[in-house]
Structure 1
């Protein structure tokens, strides 16, 4: 399977994790499916992409912007980077839902942070932290 196909499949398959976060957050299989299923699958494919074409990787490959740019010139590395984003954003989304449940906050608050987490990762987490802080201060 080539990097382009993996990129497209990953972009579609990740939705299988986001949909239950939005619409079935309390379903007993939502978190296990994401954490022990989808994220493990993404990790395996990520490792495959990196190990099958590690190319000119050096320990300083992340030391400058130019080195990172050169690293992502290969399709396998670019697809692996994309899977990395998809996996970590999904992980953060799952965390946000777990925290909202643990703090007994209404799930509609997740609908504010999760779309941003899906599209812009850290920005969604920041929005969640702001929501959590405002809610905590309002209760205190």
Structure 2
């Protein structure tokens, strides 16, 4: 392992935050959105895959009690998250998916002509508590999505 789990945690958090800031405040042209998708989401996904592979097959020390990668039981998942490595891998998973969902929300909101001011609380909620932000957005967009569908 080249970096400590703490360093990897800080690095992935910082990288995701850059993606979120770009999504929230930069113009959403094709280049910016592609950069967020590939340099943000895809890089987090690749990091996740490498870290998970290192724990599963590379013999990396997870930074805690040795735990089998058991996703089929609550106790297995708890054992994995009881290690630094397992927590960083899981957190990286959340970061990648939440940023991807944030991109979808932003694109959907732009297509439905919601202002950035209206979008920001939903993006913030998705950053902080992913599924709550997505659910809130799905509720918010419903009326406008139906109106736009009728207009076609």
Give the structure-1-normalised TM-score: 0.87
Which residue in 1 is equivalent to 2:11? 9
- Matched-pair contact (CA < 8 Å) for 1:25–1:97: no
Which residue in 1 is equivalent to 2:97? 88
Structure 1 residue 113 displacement after superposition: 0.6
* Structure 1 gap segments, 5+ residues each: none
* Structure 2 gap segments, 5+ residues each: 57-66
Which residue in 2 is equivalent to 1:56? 68
| Larger-Rg structure | 2
2:84 to 71, 75, 78: 75
Please, which moves more after superposition, 36-45 or 119-128? 36-45
Distance 2:92 2:10 in 1: 10
- Matched-pair contact (CA < 8 Å) for 2:68–2:76: no
1:66 to 67, 72, 75: 75
Cα deviation per residue 1:22-81 (whole Å; 9 max; x = unaligned)? 112423322101111112211222122111122622xxx222221110122232221010
Which residue in 2 is equivalent to 1:102? 111
Give the structure-2-normalised TM-score: 0.80
